[in-house]
Each structure stands twice: as structure tokens, then as C-alpha cells.
Amino acid sequence: MLNGTNFKAWKEAVEIILGCMDLDLALRAEKPTPNPENPDEDKVEKWERSNRMCLMIMKRSVPKVFRGSISENQNAKGFLDVVEQYFTSNEKADASSLLAKLISMIDKVK
């Protein structure tokens, strides 16, 4: 379960789980677009199933508190990118805030 401080471990676990279940196609490849000469509907169906399953599994492992601040996305790769962007920016803000506290503590000791 994603808790706000474990994004890297969460992402790795999700990728491993989806890979072992052979559901990670939507994370590895763009949605195929069939053309009149080569409709290849089977590839499109496989990708859409993979996308649906990825989204369900990822959303289930993100607490409702965070889901509200993450925009809805119909694409699993896009959803993962948005979650990564959200938590990466939060980690930077947290690190910056901790560094400022440390500096102010050092100044007080002097």
C-alpha cells in the first residue's frame, strides 16, 4: 500500500506484480492503433485488458486520501506517471523542509 513515503518501493512492487501476472503490457507499450490493412484486434484487446487490470490494481493500492488528489486517468502508464510526479514533488518539498529545520537548529546551537 502506498503511504506517501514509500513510492519507490511501491512502484517496484506494482511493476513486479503486474509483470508476474503478465498484465504489464499497458505499462510497456503504447495502445496499438489498428489500420484498415491490418486490423489486429487481438493486440488492441490484450492492451485494453492490460490497461484495465493495471489501473484497478494500482488504484486499489493507493489510499483514498491520495486518490482524491490524483487526477483520473484512463491510461495505466499515465496514472503511474501522475502518481510518480505527485510523490516526487512531495519528497522534494519534505527534504527541503527538513533541511531548513536542520539549518535553523544549527544556527540556534551557535
Predicted pLDDT at 57: 93
Residue 49: predicted pLDDT: 95
pLDDT tens readout for residues 59-102: 899 888 777 767 677 899 999 998 888 887 655 556 666 666 76
Cβ neighbours for 51, distance < 8 A, ≥ 6 positions apart: 25, 26, 31, 74, 75, 76
* Whether residue 103 has pLDDT greater than 90: no
Question: What average pLDDT does the structure give for the chain?
Answer: 83
59 neighbors 72 (Cβ within 8 angstroms)? no
- pLDDT score for 37: 74
Alpha-carbon gap, residue 52 to 2, rounded angstroms: 19
Reply yes or no on whether the pLDDT at 48 is more than 80: yes
Asked if 79 and 58 touch (Cβ cutoff 8 Å), the reply is: yes
Sorted by sequence, the CB contacts under 8 Å of residue 21 that are 6+ apart come out as 53
